[in-house]
Amino acid sequence: MGEVNYIYLRKMIKEKEVKRIGVYPGSFDPITNGHLDIIKRAANLFDEVIVLISYNINKKNERFDVATRLKMIEDAVKDLKNVKVDSYNGLTIEYAKKNQAKFLIRGLRVVSDFEYEWSLASNNNFIDPEIEMVFLMAKKENTFISSSNILELASNRVDVSSLVPPLVNKILIDKFK
């Protein structure tokens, strides 16, 4: 986040000293087309993108278990050769360090997202200033899409097929029959 980090990262990218690995963490409960757009755009920026399901084993309000979310994301990104999917219970920054990732990818939809992401970026910078946060702005057609909104709509039998990948839509239909 400081000038030194920027110069170091620019040099690292330019000289290709290391593989450019970005981690895109989230609960993805479920994954939406907004998430998928960020993943596709990140895949064009990095050598490898790891979509990381961050979870807390003590958290009770998750709608889909980790195995189901892994399946949904893997299906949605199956054509993106430089994208892999994983899950982790712990600090994302620690996962990034263990996997030699120098970038954490985050999507921003609205101004309130920025305040939350700024706090996360500051915490992560405190832990490891060499891992940089990369923010991708949501496309305007995706700014209203959130996993919570998708679930609310689907639970009330609203057609969300244009907002989520096909497998997610099928799972939502089955869940809310």
The pLDDT value given to residue 8: 58
In the set 11, 19, 59, 78, the catalytic residue is: 59
CATH number, domain containing residue 27: 3.40.50.620
Residue 32 lies in a domain: yes
Residue 161 lies in a domain: no
Task: Count up the domains in the chain and report the number.
Answer: 1
Residue 117 lies in a domain: yes
Residue 90 lies in a domain: yes
Q: Is 109 assigned a catalytic role? A: yes
Residue 163 lies in a domain: no
Gap between the Cα atoms of 38 and 97, Å rounded = 22
Phi-psi region at 32: left, alpha or beta (left = phi > 0; alpha = psi -120 to 50): beta
Task: Identify the domain containing residue 78 by its residue range.
Answer: 3-140
Residue 37 lies in a domain: yes
Residue 168 lies in a domain: no
The pLDDT value given to residue 142: 87
pLDDT in tens, the chain (177 residues): 445 555 555 555 555 567 899 999 999 999 999 999 999 999 999 999 999 998 866 666 789 999 999 999 999 999 999 999 999 999 999 999 999 999 999 999 888 888 888 998 999 999 999 999 999 999 989 888 999 999 999 999 999 999 999 999 999 999 998
Provide the 3-class DSSP secondary structure of residue 23: strand
Q: Is 69 assigned a catalytic role? A: no
The pLDDT value given to residue 60: 65
The pLDDT value given to residue 61: 77
The pLDDT value given to residue 1: 45
Residue 41 lies in a domain: yes
In the set 20, 69, 102, 109, the catalytic residue is: 109
**Stated pTM of the model:** 0.87
In the set 35, 69, 102, 106, the catalytic residue is: 35
Beta-carbon contacts of 39 under 8 Å, excluding residues fewer than 6 positions away, are 24, 49, 51, 76, 77, 80, 83
The pLDDT value given to residue 9: 57
